[in-house]
Chains A and B, each alone.
Chain A
Amino acid sequence: MHELGITEQLLDLTLEHAARAQATRVTRLNLVIGELSSVVDESIQFYWEIMAKDSIAAQAELHFERVPGRLCCLACQAEFGFSAFEGQCPQCGGAQVKVVDGDQFRLDSIEIENEVDQ
């Protein structure tokens, strides 16, 4: 459900950057979302269509680049996928791990159209 709040802020951020670039239309958003950020793509897309309806970003296509979660054991340095994590390192049983990838929650770029003089 927090996708509603997230979409609201995503729209604000998009329109702010679009205005700065004097865009007449936003055609695409390139989002980078890590596995450890719990958001549902379809849900953001759904809210976007409602919330962006009357804006220059109404037709924008939302593109989600998903980054898998990767953890690293602090004891043996082994790297493994987040899905393999059950409270300890699957290699050596070490109790401390750190996140090396997958916590992105970023609007990387937007694609826009603007009118230019000939």
Chain B
Amino acid sequence: MTETKRVQVEEHILSINDELAAGLRTRLDAAGVFAINLMASPGGGKTSLILRTVEALKDDLRLAAVDGDVVPVDVEKIATQGIQVELINTGGSCHLEAHMLSPALDRIDLDAVDLLIVENVGNLICPASFQLGTHANVVIASIPEGDDKPYKYPTMFRGADVLLLNKIDYLAVQEFDIDYFRRGVEALNEGLTFFPVSCRTGEGLEAWYDWLREQVRKTTAGSAEARELVQGS
């Protein structure tokens, strides 16, 4: 006979993704890689920021990038900088998921990488829900998008560790209340790291590079310490 019953689950709906992401994090940590998940609206400046960052840091750090996209246009641009860049063809999906990142990591020699930049799909809503195992969520907002974005996309801004406000050179021609914008973001996200920048003029980018160098330094020191512990035991 048929019996009906209720089974308690009480799990986060994306717990399968989150478990995979945790596995990827372990892999990155073991290789001493500091990884960022870069998110923004289309046209926010993800690729411009990557190009600038690679140019500034490639002599000091070993860099690699992964790009979630449907066409290899951005991948080709980034590859001109002479670093390894892997395309994850998202087939039109609006965000990256942990299971998509995993095979891209297989193609990268992680032991030979200090900083991995994961360029998520251009979108401010969807990527925020899916953890990738990266160490920091970096969100780019830009002046032309308007100062009300934190109020429209609270999830994205709440989950950000670092926020770059790009295209500050537009402040000369567009009204944008930076205080109102920052209030909206920081009200729900205390301790957020905030960099106003312009990828066009280069203004403000030094602080962003310094932040990245510092994270890589900490990661490398942490993984050296972990190795010593393993060898010492």
Could you tell me which A residues sit within 8 Å of B by CB distance?
Answer: 1-2, 4-6, 9-10, 12-14, 17-18, 20-21, 23-24, 27, 31, 36-38, 71, 82, 85-88, 95-99, 105-116, 118
Contacts and interface: CB of A to CB of B under 8 A. Distances in A.
Interface in B42-82: none
Contact of B9 (A38, A97, A108): A108
A109 B14 contact: no
A79 B109 CA distance: 50
Interface stretch (B185-193, B196-204, B213-221): B185-193
A2 B126 contact: yes
A18 B7 CA distance: 8
A18 B5 CA distance: 11
Interface centre among A24, A71, A96 (most CB of B within 10 A): A96
A106 B10 contact: yes
Contact of A96 (B3, B12, B94, B190): B190
A14 B7 CA distance: 10
B173 interface: no
Contacts of B180: 87
Interface centre among A1, A24, A82, A116 (most CB of B within 10 A): A1
A2 B173 CA distance: 35
Q: Give the dominant DSSP class at A's interface.
A: mixed
Interface of B: 1-17, 93-95, 97, 125-126, 129-130, 150-151, 153-155, 158, 180, 183-184, 186-188, 190
Contacts of A71: 188
25 contacts: A2-B129, A2-B130, A5-B126, A5-B130, A9-B17, A12-B16, A13-B13, A17-B7, A17-B9, A20-B7, A27-B4, A31-B13, A38-B125, A38-B155, A88-B183, A96-B186, A97-B188, A98-B188, A106-B11, A108-B10, A109-B9, A109-B10, A110-B6, A113-B4, A115-B1
Given A9-B14, A108-B9, 8 more contacts: A27-B4, A36-B154, A38-B125, A85-B151, A87-B151, A107-B13, A109-B6, A109-B8
A5 B9 contact: no
Closest 9 CB pairs of A and B: A2-B126, A87-B183, A1-B94, A87-B184, A107-B9, A21-B7, A116-B3, A109-B8, A97-B187
A111 B93 CA distance: 31
B98 to A, nearest CB: 10
Nearest to B147: A87
A85 B10 CA distance: 29
